[in-house]
Amino acid sequence: MTQKTWNVMVTGGAGYVGSALVPKLLDAGHTVTVLDLYLYGEDVLDGVRGNPKLREVKGDLRDPAVVADALKGCDAVIHLACISN
| pTM for the whole structure | 0.92
Residues 28 and 83: their CA atoms lie apart, in Å, by 28
Query: What was the pLDDT predicted at 9?
Result: 98
Whether the predicted pLDDT of 78 surpasses 70: yes
Helix or strand holding residue 57 (H, E)? strand 54-58
Query: What was the pLDDT predicted at 1?
Result: 63
User: In this predicted model, what pLDDT tens digit does every residue of 50-76 receive, in sequence order?
Assistant: 999 999 999 999 999 999 999 999 999
User: In this predicted model, what pLDDT tens digit does every residue of 1-56 receive, in sequence order?
Assistant: 678 999 999 999 999 999 999 999 999 999 999 999 999 899 999 999 999 999 99
